[in-house]
């Protein structure tokens, strides 16, 4: 590429516009020049006005598509859901709305299925998010070493994330099967009785968490890996000079430098855990949104789905959706406070 | 200049995409009249169904297109009714996105008849509909109070009991289908007794029946009164027939006669494949399912006997939405698809039992034998069951009540070892929450 054109193009291209009129022309017809310069003036003013407008408004035009879509598919549904949550609406007649005020919300307070779902969401969220992020950190640390075929391992770490949740969950349902599941078979080899993974409260939540962990660990590991590679090498070098072991380097150099990234993944994982839906839905085989005979792994997302699309109560489902939204806002606020304290103490 | 172009493009793109989205939902209805192609006045009819409905698989569309050169039929299918039905409701609500013909499951038909009748064509008056051919109760289920028939019945689900002859022989029970039928004829409690007999000498690792919920479903299907009374009031809590079904099914669970499986789950399929249970209540449409899941190894091991009492489980309807573009042609197609001759073909090919009584005397039904089930004369077995099925009172929320009784209440008794009382209370709580408006 370099030097192929042979001639630097920049010098010529600017000359015509900045060219000074030749002396002869100037003297021969001064008035004409004046007229043309006035026109030029106007044109220039217009151009600069347009330029100013352009600088001012073009960015808005460029970001417009996002906001148009956001309004159509983000904001409008959000507001409409809020509006619907104040009404009694049934899916059999979505246009018949009867005003009930905050009734749908107040009844959530005494709705034991809602509290059960909230509790399940929190426990499943905890037992999936915490190990998942810890494992992701460890894996990222390993991937960060100079190792042969690192690209292969990085891609491999991401494959679970690329797998469809439906396909993955079906496989896990078979693995966790009571009578013919591979996990029970393996446990049987060491002398354990068959565990009814789907029906126990803890076992079912553990099984659902396993699917979540399997799916997202690699994804988070890659985020950590990206952040790790941005850590200056000399930090490690000086730590090594001071006699810090690999482990000590990880704890005293890597972790502090990753703090904002860890916080980010915490927030994203929390949002994901709050909205957990596909895994528990499919883990329940044929029964749909009940989350097990005892609702033992019914998450908020499942309960919302059950109210809206099985029981057809759109108003109540909307109220649950908004309650979830508010819960997320609270979690976000707590995270923000924590982050502020952390960055102050750092 | 260039910027203006970009602006215009951006604006056009945004608007175009938005418009595209808006248009999308109208498309199926619009395209019905035009997308047929060919250019010589051909009409495309769309049919929306759930699951493997069978009309296409039995070759009925192809046959109709051959008879009517100007018609092209396209089918869209959504695997599970629980996903199909809410979508159908939203589409009916917005009057767009509808196929020319939409299928409806029997558990939803009362709700559709009660709430959506205004958006569906009155098929009782349509060309070619033979109202007398149907079982009267099937027709009545889809007829509104003011006498509009908004759906035509396809199949019904008269039940027998499918059983494994090899397991019966090992447990010292008769294997001949007549003798097996006599074992429990007339009384569901005798079915329970047969279970006790089976258990006494059962081969290791086998159970008498797949699930307690399946038994409950079969018994409630044999009762005239289930969850609603004639005035449309929810009465399942106090209805003695529901109580009886609950108690007998719960007894199966507490006596350890079930395989503790949940129907239509992967574990249930594995139960078929491994032959871990000896009987299952068996609507006509279940035969194909068993054949699929039990596979070649189960051939001639399975057989069908009459159920203790005639009972119905499942069945479907076809409706023609008012918002469709080709209502007249669609009604004609619906009438043809549900005519006795076609229902008989559907039975012969797919095992969906006709809801048209006139079909029972056709040789395709009366002479039907199922090779997989040891040549059982299924035409006669299911015809007899169908004639005895009581006219059931069905209500708008039948599906939700049945689902929670089975998947919450009875499942707790069966799989979690809760007492029948605890299971019942849990189901009632879930149903109250679901029905409460």
Pick from A91, A177, A293: CB nearest B270 = A177
Task: Identify all chain B residues contacting A295, using CB atoms and an 8 Å cutoff.
Answer: 408, 430
CB atoms inside a 10 Å sphere around CB B43: 22
* Percentage of residues in chain A having pLDDT higher than 90: 58
Span B352-364, pLDDT tens digits: 999 999 999 999 9
Mean of pLDDT over chain A: 86
Report the pLDDT value the prediction gives residue A34, as an integer from 0 to 100: 58
Residue of B nearest to A307 (CA): B434
In this prediction, residues B201-208 reach a mean pLDDT of: 94
pLDDT at B307 over 60: yes
Of B52, B50, B112, B47, residue with least CA distance to B81: B50
Span A24-71, pLDDT tens digits: 444 444 555 555 688 888 889 888 888 998 888 999 999 999 999 999
**Global pTM value:** 0.83
Give the position of tokens 């040789």: B363
What single-letter DSSP state applies at residue A232? -
Pick from A61, A178, A290: CB nearest B407 = A290
Task: Identify all chain B residues contacting A61, using CB atoms and an 8 Å cutoff.
Answer: 6-7, 10-11
In this prediction, residues A316-322 reach a mean pLDDT of: 95
pLDDT at B90 over 80: yes
Report residue A146's pLDDT band, with 50, 70 and 90 as the boundaries: confident
Report residue B192's pLDDT band, with 50, 70 and 90 as the boundaries: very high
Residue of A nearest to B110 (CA): A92
In this prediction, residues A154-160 reach a mean pLDDT of: 90
Q: Mind telling me how many Å the CA of B6 is from chain A's nearest CA?
A: 9
Q: Mind telling me how many Å the CA of A32 is from chain B's nearest CA?
A: 28
Q: Mind telling me how many Å the CA of B124 is from chain A's nearest CA?
A: 23
Burial of B175 (0-12, 13-18, 19+ CB in 10 A): middle
Report residue A149's pLDDT band, with 50, 70 and 90 as the boundaries: confident
pLDDT at A218 over 70: yes
Interatomic CA distance for residues B313 and B315, integer angstroms: 7
Report the pLDDT value the prediction gives residue A19, as an integer from 0 to 100: 44
- Residue A101 has phi, psi (to 5 degrees) of 65, -135
Interatomic CA distance for residues B96 and B32, integer angstroms: 12
Interatomic CA distance for residues B17 and B9, integer angstroms: 12
Span B209-237, pLDDT tens digits: 999 999 999 999 999 989 999 999 999 99
- Give A262-265's long-range contacts (Cβ < 8 A, gap of 24+): A262/A133, A262/A137, A262/A224, A263/A335, A263/A338, A263/A339, A263/A342, A264/A223, A265/A133, A265/A136, A265/A220, A265/A223, A265/A224
Report the pLDDT value the prediction gives residue B6, as an integer from 0 to 100: 52
Q: Which of A142-151, B115-124, B305-314 has the lowest mean pLDDT?
A: A142-151
Of A198, A289, A119, A51, residue with least CA distance to B430: A289
Span A193-208, pLDDT tens digits: 989 999 999 999 999 9
Report the pLDDT value the prediction gives residue B41, as an integer from 0 to 100: 65
CB contact under 8 A, B266 and A173: yes
Task: Identify all chain A residues contacting B262, using CB atoms and an 8 Å cutoff.
Answer: 285-287
Q: Mind telling me how many Å the CA of A41 is from chain B's nearest CA?
A: 19
Give the position of tokens 């799989």: B415
Report the pLDDT value the prediction gives residue B183, as an integer from 0 to 100: 95
Taking phi over 0 as left and psi of -120 to 50 as alpha, with beta for the rest, B406 belongs to alpha
- Decide if the complex's ipTM is over 0.90: no
Q: Mind telling me how many Å the CA of A16 is from chain B's nearest CA?
A: 21
Q: Which of A13-17, B227-231, B321-325 has the lowest mean pLDDT?
A: A13-17
Q: Is A106 on the interface with B (CB under 8 A)?
A: no
Cβ-based contacts under 8 A for chains A and B: 109
Residue of B nearest to A293 (CA): B408
Span B146-185, pLDDT tens digits: 999 999 999 999 999 999 999 999 999 999 999 999 999 9
Report the pLDDT value the prediction gives residue A187, as an integer from 0 to 100: 94
Could you tell me the two tokens for B361? 């005397």
Q: Is A58 on the interface with B (CB under 8 A)?
A: yes
Could you tell me the two tokens for A301? 């997302």
């Amino acid at each position: 590429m370099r030097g192929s054109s042979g001639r630097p193009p920049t010098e010529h291209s600017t000359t015509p516009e900045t060219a000074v009129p030749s002396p002869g022309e100037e003297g021969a017809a001064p008035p004409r020049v004046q007229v043309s310069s006035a026109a030029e003036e106007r044109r220039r003013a217009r151009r600069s006005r347009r330029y100013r407008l352009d600088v001012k408004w073009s960015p808005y035009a460029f970001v417009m598509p996002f906001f148009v879509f956001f309004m159509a598919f983000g904001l409008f549904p959000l507001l409409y859901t809020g509006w619907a949550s104040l009404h009694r609406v049934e899916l059999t007649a979505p246009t018949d709305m009867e005003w009930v005020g905050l009734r749908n919300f107040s009844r959530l307070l005494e709705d034991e299925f809602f509290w059960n779902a909230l509790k399940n969401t929190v426990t499943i969220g905890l037992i999936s998010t915490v190990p998942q992020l810890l494992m992701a950190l460890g894996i990222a640390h390993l991937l960060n070493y100079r190792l042969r075929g690192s690209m292969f391992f990085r891609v491999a770490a991401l494959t679970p994330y690329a797998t469809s949740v439906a396909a993955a969950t079906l496989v896990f349902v078979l693995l966790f099967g009571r009578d013919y599941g591979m996990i029970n078979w393996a446990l049987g080899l060491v002398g354990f009785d068959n565990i009814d993974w789907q029906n126990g409260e803890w076992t079912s939540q553990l099984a659902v968490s396993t699917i979540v962990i399997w799916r997202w660990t690699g994804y988070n590991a890659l985020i950590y890996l990206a952040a790790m590679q941005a850590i200056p090498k000399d930090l490690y070098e000086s730590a090594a000079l001071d006699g810090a072991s690999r482990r000590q380097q990880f704890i005293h150099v890597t972790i502090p430098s990753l703090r904002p990234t860890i916080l980010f993944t915490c927030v994203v994982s929390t949002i994901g855990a709050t909205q957990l839906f596909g895994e528990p839905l499919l883990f329940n085989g044929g029964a749909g949104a009940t989350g097990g005979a005892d609702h033992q792994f019914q998450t908020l997302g499942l309960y919302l789905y059950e109210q809206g699309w099985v029981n057809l109560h759109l108003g109540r489902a909307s109220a649950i959706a908004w309650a979830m939204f508010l819960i997320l806002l609270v979690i976000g606020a707590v995270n923000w406070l924590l982050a502020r304290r952390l960055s102050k103490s750092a | 200049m260039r910027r203006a172009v970009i602006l215009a493009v951006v604006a056009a793109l945004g608007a175009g995409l938005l418009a595209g989205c808006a248009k999308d939902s109208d498309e199926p209805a619009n395209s019905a009249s035009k997308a047929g192609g060919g250019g010589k006045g051909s009409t495309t009819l769309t049919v929306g169904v759930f699951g493997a409905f069978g009309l296409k698989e039995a070759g009925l569309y192809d046959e109709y297109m051959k008879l009517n050169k100007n018609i092209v039929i396209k089918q869209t299918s959504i695997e599970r009714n629980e996903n199909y039905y809410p979508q159908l409701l939203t589409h009916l609500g917005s009057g767009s996105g509808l196929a020319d013909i939409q299928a409806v499951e029997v558990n939803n038909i009362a709700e559709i008849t009660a709430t959506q009748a205004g958006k569906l064509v009155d098929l009782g008056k349509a060309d070619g509909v033979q109202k007398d051919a149907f079982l009267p109760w099937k027709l009545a289920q889809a007829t509104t109070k003011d006498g509009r028939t908004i759906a035509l019945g396809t199949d019904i689900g008269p039940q027998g009991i499918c059983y494994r002859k090899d397991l019966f022989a090992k447990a010292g029970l008769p294997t001949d289908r007549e003798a097996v039928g006599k074992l429990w004829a007339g009384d569901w409690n005798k079915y329970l007794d047969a279970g006790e007999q089976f258990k006494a000498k059962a081969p290791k690792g086998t159970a008498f029946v797949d699930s307690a919920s399946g038994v409950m479903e079969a018994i409630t299907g044999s009762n005239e009164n289930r969850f609603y009374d004639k005035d449309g009031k929810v009465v399942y809590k106090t209805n003695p027939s529901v109580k009886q079904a609950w108690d007998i099914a719960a007894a199966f669970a507490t006596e350890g006669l079930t395989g503790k499986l949940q129907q239509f789950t992967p574990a249930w399929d594995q139960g078929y494949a491994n032959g871990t249970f000896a009987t299952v209540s068996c609507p006509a449409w279940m035969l194909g399912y068993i054949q699929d899941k039990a596979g070649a190894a189960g051939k001639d091991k399975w057989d069908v006997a009459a159920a203790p009492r005639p009972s119905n489980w499942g069945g479907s309807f076809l409706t023609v939405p008012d918002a469709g573009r080709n209502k007249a042609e669609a009604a004609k197609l619906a009438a043809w698809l549900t005519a006795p001759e076609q229902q008989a073909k559907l039975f012969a090919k797919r095992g969906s039992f006709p809801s048209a009584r006139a079909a029972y005397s056709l040789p395709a039904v009366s002479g039907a034998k199922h090779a997989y089930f040891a040549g059982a004369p299924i035409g006669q077995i299911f015809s007899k069951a169908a004639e005895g099925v009581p006219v059931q009172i069905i209500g708008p929320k039948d599906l939700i009540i049945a689902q929670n009784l089975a998947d919450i209440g009875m499942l707790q008794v069966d799989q979690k070892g809760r007492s029948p009382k605890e299971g019942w209370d849990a189901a009632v709580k879930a149903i109250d929450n679901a029905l409460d408006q």
